[in-house]
Amino acid sequence: MNRIGVFVCHCGSNIAAAVDVKQVAEALGREQNVVFSAEYQYMCSENGQKLIKNAVKENALTGIVVCSCSPRMHEATFRKTASEAGINPYMVEIANIREQCSWVHKDITAATSKAIILGRAAIAKVRFNEPLTVGESGVTKRALVIGGGIAGIQTALDIADAGYKVDIVEKKPTIGGKMAQLDKTFPTLDCAACILTPKMVEAARHENIKLYTYSEVEEVKGYVGNFSVKIRKKARYVRENLCSGCGACALKCPSRNSGNEFNTGLDKRGAIYIPFAQAIPNIPVIDAEHCIKFRTGKCGLCQMNCAAQAIDFSQKDEIIEEKYGAIVAATGFDIINLDKFGEYGYKTYPDVVTSLEFERIMNAAGPTKGHLERPSDGRQPKTLVFVQCVGSRDTSGRGKEYCSKICCMYTAKHAMLTREKYPDTDVYVFYIDVRAPGKNFDEFYRRAAEQYGVHYIKGMVGKIYDDGNGNLMVRGSDIIANEQLTIKADMVILAAAAKPDDSARSLGTMLTASMDTNDFFTEAHPKLRPVESPTAGVFLSGFCQGPKDIPETVAQAGAAAVKVIGLLSKDRLKSNPCVARSDSLICSGCSNCEKVCPFGAITYADARVNDGTGMETRRVAVVNEAVCHGCGACAAACPSGAMDLMGFTSKQIFAEVDAVCR
Amino acid sequence: MQINEKDKSNRPNENPVPSDENFTPLIVAFCCNWCSYAGADLAGSGRLSYPAEVKIIRVPCSCRVNPTFILRAFQKGADGVILAGCHPGDCHYSTGNYFTRRRMTLLFSMLDYMGIEKERTRVEWISAAEGAKFASTMNEFAEKINSLGKCRRLGDLRCV
Amino acid sequence: MTEYDLSLEAIRMSGVYPERCMKCGKCSGACPSYGEMEYHPHQFVDMISKGRIKELMESDSIYKCLSCFVCVERCPRNVFPANIVEAVRTLSERRQGADRISPDTLTEFIDGDTPQQLLMAVMRKYSK
């Protein structure tokens, strides 16, 4: 039998000025099941709470209705009061008579009668409230970082330094990511390798970090605190425990036909190779597609020359299963394919290159040893044209509609470095807007224009063509001078739009982490929770969340690490008890609920049920309470009414509707 | 977003309810906890008034609203039902409001067929920051319901 | 009709949304007739959005346009300057009276300087 207590708050004059609180308390006191009704100046105060507690004890209340401010304000307070008074905290309902009544209605009569109706609705609802208990689950004290670029490395280092175990999964044979390919970094012009490689070494040596390079995440199951992940460790055909990293195998390899990915395909590498000199781990990998031994069965030169006996052509992919408490996505970026931009002739002319290729050309460890040589004939170019926004800010469907953010600054850097090393070159930059918001960014860009004599032209390039004598002609507009100009260039560098790595989409699906239309991971809140995914236990680091430069990536990596540490430091996780629940007697196993669940919280299991016609085995929906967020999509989708949402059951809402419409 | 875009005001009301000078409509508003309910709270803290006839029922997400909740409201005498949720793409649960949009499009056309004017139902996206939008939407909706007059009651055959 | 209304009419007819233009100038960078024009593709968009259609109608720039649609092809924001040109031409011709040129007398107007585009447009509009 329900014994309900009603507590009407004056909130000083906030409520009492527009609502006749006495009348509300009296009217609600006459409602069915209401055995106690009172009003008080400040219900949320110490004395107000004491009043509630005493009333609960003296009247043996089973349910509490507080007519006060928004539940978003004090629901938690009154739940705690109920709990202290000895009844289940979920037996409390709030009637919002401040924000949604006294503050918005001037007429006392109307506001008072509305307050009574809102109170009745809360009473009607609380009659059907059920005591709910907060569930708890354990936390696996190990984190997984997916992606071994600067974002992943930094996140892993920060987590590891706090004393937690971290695994990094990197699909390439080495960690380091895109930053390892860069030459200098803006706006300080310090060398990327000099600041990155010590971090790579630290990550490899750290006792709490385990690296899975040349590996990919294949399956993610579980929920916050209890993820179970399958990692595919691809066969390197080199035994990691034996290899000394001497590199003799790579030198002896007779195959020289594979494009060197690290140098963006500008030169060739062997079929067995170490991506670059500072690679971590410093262990080669065999590219089976180009290896002569794999293709013809005859060769094995690397095996013959390996003193450590580390080459193993029979190696197979390995599946590793590991449990994690938290997962960080740090999948980084790539640049878009320029096939659709025929006007720039990227496919046709070898001297039209992307900025990443230019980065390798300018890099002392790159294919040209840092000498500016154009790809077609190795000549030093005298006129360079940089084109910005190639595919960025493009709504035509060929590119990406967002600003890639980093291009303005790296183009200024490239232009500056070129003019510094080769003062006799002419450097032109076609730009739409120069976006340089950041510490010392605008100063940096202005230095390129003012001190280094880089010609900035506001306008875009419409066409790049060959004049018939092997010269690249760049035709573009200068819309400030209001003229069309054609520049005879020796080399053109395209600032191609950056996009999230291709692996992000499938990873997002595996993690049930939401993504936007551009395949960037969505954050839980754009302002207040920028490093968390809406999926509990999944965190975001670096470019995979949105375009970022290195300092921002490192900052976000640290922030993601703190969130992970905060999660892993807990021994038990409390879960929201307002979750969906399925009645196996009614469930027909139709799968409607499973399809609408955005969190993958619903699975099917065989249950032994007896609905009065004898015992039978049925396929019924089962809700994983730790994964369910309590949105109720399943409850509304269920055709038979088997699925319901605790705290907002259909019965409760019907009762509220009835009370409001009475 | 407003689902009922087409104005059907030129259609004769088959069962005209005699106009009542003292008619005060009953409007039920289902608001999602994360956006619209918070938007209503913000309208409150901003003291932006709207008619007292609007009664808000809190749901965790607009997708929790089973079409039968709306039918029940009409059955029990509501003159208008409005469902408010987060803007598309901003749902706290990622995709809830997309389900709402589809479900309600179907339900509203069915209600229309049953003789409950489409204008009596509405889906609105109101964020937690849009207190002013909440108030103006409710004002506008209440005005619309006022002009439509009393709603024909849906009969509950079980009670006959 | 005021000049502003006329501009709105041209926007309506062309179906373009000139506010989408981010003034990158790619259209003008690609235009093969750029050198012959007084106003250039990116200016067409700007002028029409500012309601300065008369200058455009009086200039022969709109007839120097070859309707090659390279500006439409290259525009990263789906603004379509060539469509504006076509609308302005149509408005200009309508203003001069639909019966001014009959197909039979068309040959009289042909001389070395008459842009072929003009003849094509006139034929298309008045031969029905």
Contact A171, A148 (CB under 8 A): no
By C-alpha distance, the chain C residue nearest A461 is C29
Looking at 3.40.50, 1.10.3470, 3.30.250, 1.10.20, the CATH number of the domain A4-126 comes to 3.40.50
Give the minimum alpha-carbon distance from A572 to chain B in angstroms, rounded to a whole number: 24
| C76–chain A Cβ distance below 8 A for any pair | yes
What is the CATH code of the structural domain delimited by A336-498?
Answer: 3.50.50.60
Nearest CA to A123 out of A17, A54, A37, A11 is that of: A37
3-state helix, strand, coil in chain B (%, to 5): 40, 15, 45
Distance CA A129, CA A124 (A): 9
A660 → closest Cβ in B44, B55, B94: B55
Region A441-460 average pLDDT: 96
Which residues, in sequence order, are CB contacts of A114 under 8 Å at separation 6+? A97, A101, A105, B52, B55
| C28–chain A Cβ distance below 8 A for any pair | yes
Q: Give pLDDT, residue A171.
A: 96
Cβ count near B87 (within 10 Å): 15
Contacts of A396 in chain C (CB under 8 A): 75-78
Q: Give pLDDT, residue C126.
A: 59
Q: B86: which 2 tokens?
A: 């987060």
Region C72-78 average pLDDT: 93
pLDDT classification of C128: cutoffs 50, 70, 90? very low
| C17–chain A Cβ distance below 8 A for any pair | no
- CA–CA distance from C89 to each of C65, C86, C104, C106 (Å)? 10, 5, 21, 17
Contacts of B49 in chain A (CB under 8 A): 104-106
CATH 3.50.50.60 domain position(s) in chain A: 142-234+317-332+501-568, 336-498
Domain boundaries, chain B: 24-159
Place of tokens 């065989």: A606
Distance CA B83, CA B91 (A): 14
Q: Per residue in A34-71, pLDDT tens?
A: 999 999 999 999 999 999 999 999 999 999 999 999 99
A523 vs A632, residue with greater confidence = A632
CATH 3.30.70.3270 domain position(s) in chain A: 580-646
Q: Give pLDDT, residue B14.
A: 40
**Is the reported ipTM for this assembly greater than 0.90?**
no
| A473–chain C Cβ distance below 8 A for any pair | no
B63 → closest Cβ in A103, A631, A656: A631
pLDDT classification of A422: cutoffs 50, 70, 90? very high
- Helix (H) / strand (E) element for A322: namely strand A318-324
Q: Per residue in C16-72, pLDDT tens?
A: 999 999 999 999 999 999 999 999 999 999 999 999 999 999 898 988 888 889 999
The residue type at A357: E
- A and C touch with 3+ CB pairs <8 Å, answer yes
Distance CA A541, CA A617 (A): 46
Q: Give pLDDT, residue C125.
A: 62
pLDDT classification of B9: cutoffs 50, 70, 90? very low
| B115–chain A Cβ distance below 8 A for any pair | no
Which residues, in sequence order, are CB contacts of A550 under 8 Å at separation 6+? A150, A179, A185
- CA–CA distance from A199 to each of A144, A180, B37 (Å)? 18, 11, 47
Give the minimum alpha-carbon distance from C123 to chain A in angstroms, rounded to a whole number: 31
Calculate the dihedral angle through the C-alpha atoms of B63, B65, B67, B70, rounding to the nearest 10 degrees: -140
Give the minimum alpha-carbon distance from A110 to chain B in angstroms, rounded to a whole number: 6
Is the pLDDT at B15 greater than 50? The verdict is no
Place of tokens 């200058």: C55
Contacts of A111 in chain B (CB under 8 A): 52
B41 → closest Cβ in A70, A105, A578: A70
| C31–chain A Cβ distance below 8 A for any pair | yes
Which residues, in sequence order, are CB contacts of B89 under 8 Å at separation 6+? A516
Q: Per residue in B68-124, pLDDT tens?
A: 999 999 999 999 999 999 988 778 887 899 999 999 999 999 998 888 998 999 999
Is the pLDDT at A135 greater than 90? The verdict is no
Nearest CA to A227 out of A167, A173, A175, A171 is that of: A167
Strand partners, B85: B125
Place of tokens 């087409």: B6
Cβ count near A109 (within 10 Å): 11
Nearest CA to C118 out of A417, C110, A551 is that of: C110
Give the minimum alpha-carbon distance from B41 to chain A in angstroms, rounded to a whole number: 5
Contact A222, A244 (CB under 8 A): no
| A396–chain C Cβ distance below 8 A for any pair | yes
B95 → closest Cβ in A111, A598, A650: A598
| C95–chain A Cβ distance below 8 A for any pair | no
Is the pLDDT at A385 greater than 60? The verdict is yes
The residue type at A300: G
Region A303-327 average pLDDT: 95
Domains identified in chain C and CATH numbers: 3-97 (1.10.1060.10), 99-128 (no CATH)
Strand-strand pairing, A326-329 and A142-146? parallel
Chain C interface test: which of A408, A456, A477 (most C C-beta within 10 Å): A477
SS3 category, A427: strand
Q: Give pLDDT, residue A575.
A: 83
Annotate A459-482 with DSSP letters as a single string.
S-EEEEEE-SSS-EEEEEEETTTT
Looking at 3.40.640.10, 3.40.50.1860, 3.60.21.10, 3.30.70.3270, the CATH number of the domain A580-646 comes to 3.30.70.3270
By C-alpha distance, the chain B residue nearest A14 is B45
Whether A661 and B77 lie within 8 Å, measured CB to CB: yes
| B86–chain A Cβ distance below 8 A for any pair | no
Phi, psi of C27 (to 5 degrees): -60, -45
Region class of A609: left (phi > 0), else alpha (psi between -120 and 50), else beta: beta
| A461–chain C Cβ distance below 8 A for any pair | yes
For residue A23, what is the DSSP state? H
Contacts of C23 in chain A (CB under 8 A): 432, 479
Whether C24 and A395 lie within 8 Å, measured CB to CB: no
Question: What percent of chain A has a predicted confidence (pLDDT) above 90?
Answer: 89
Q: Per residue in A288-302, pLDDT tens?
A: 999 999 999 999 999
| A459–chain C Cβ distance below 8 A for any pair | yes
Contact A512, A600 (CB under 8 A): yes
Calculate the dihedral angle through the C-alpha atoms of A613, A618, A621, A623, rounding to the nearest 10 degrees: 90
pLDDT classification of C101: cutoffs 50, 70, 90? low
Length of chain A: 662
- CA–CA distance from C30 to each of A343, A384, A455, A485, C42 (Å)? 9, 19, 20, 10, 11
| C103–chain A Cβ distance below 8 A for any pair | no
Whether A633 and B63 lie within 8 Å, measured CB to CB: yes
Give the minimum alpha-carbon distance from A462 to chain C in angstroms, rounded to a whole number: 4
| C102–chain A Cβ distance below 8 A for any pair | no
Contact A635, A650 (CB under 8 A): yes
Whether B59 and A598 lie within 8 Å, measured CB to CB: no
CATH 3.40.50 domain position(s) in chain A: 4-126
pLDDT classification of A423: cutoffs 50, 70, 90? very high
Whether A396 and C34 lie within 8 Å, measured CB to CB: no
User: Under CATH, domain A142-234+317-332+501-568 is a member of which superfamily?
Assistant: FAD/NAD(P)-binding domain (3.50.50.60)
Chain centroid to CA A540:
4
Q: Per residue in A252-279, pLDDT tens?
A: 999 988 999 999 999 999 999 999 999 9
pLDDT classification of A26: cutoffs 50, 70, 90? very high
Give the minimum alpha-carbon distance from A100 to chain B in angstroms, rounded to a whole number: 6
Report the number of secondary-structure helices (H) and strands (E) in chain A.
17, 34
Is the pLDDT at A474 greater than 90? The verdict is yes
For residue A103, what is the DSSP state? T
Distance CA A319, CA A326 (A): 20
Region B42-68 average pLDDT: 94
Contact B138, B50 (CB under 8 A): yes
What is the CATH code of the structural domain delimited by B24-159?
Answer: 3.40.50
Chain A interface test: which of B30, B45, B59, B64 (most A C-beta within 10 Å): B64
Q: Give pLDDT, residue A429.
A: 97
Q: Give pLDDT, residue A534.
A: 78
Is the pLDDT at A420 greater than 60? The verdict is yes
Give the minimum alpha-carbon distance from A558 to chain B in angstroms, rounded to a whole number: 25
Q: What pTM did the predictor assign?
A: 0.77
Whether C40 and A475 lie within 8 Å, measured CB to CB: no
| B60–chain A Cβ distance below 8 A for any pair | yes
Whether A631 and B96 lie within 8 Å, measured CB to CB: yes
Is the pLDDT at A192 greater than 80? The verdict is yes
Chains contacting C (3 or more CB pairs within 8 Å): A
Whether C26 and A462 lie within 8 Å, measured CB to CB: yes
Average pLDDT, chain A: 94
Whether A104 and B73 lie within 8 Å, measured CB to CB: no
The residue type at A205: R
Nearest CA to B72 out of A659, A123, A658, A637 is that of: A658
- A and B touch with 3+ CB pairs <8 Å, answer yes
Whether C25 and A459 lie within 8 Å, measured CB to CB: yes
Give the minimum alpha-carbon distance from A501 to chain C in angstroms, rounded to a whole number: 23
Region A415-435 average pLDDT: 96
Q: Per residue in A232-258, pLDDT tens?
A: 999 999 999 999 999 999 999 999 889
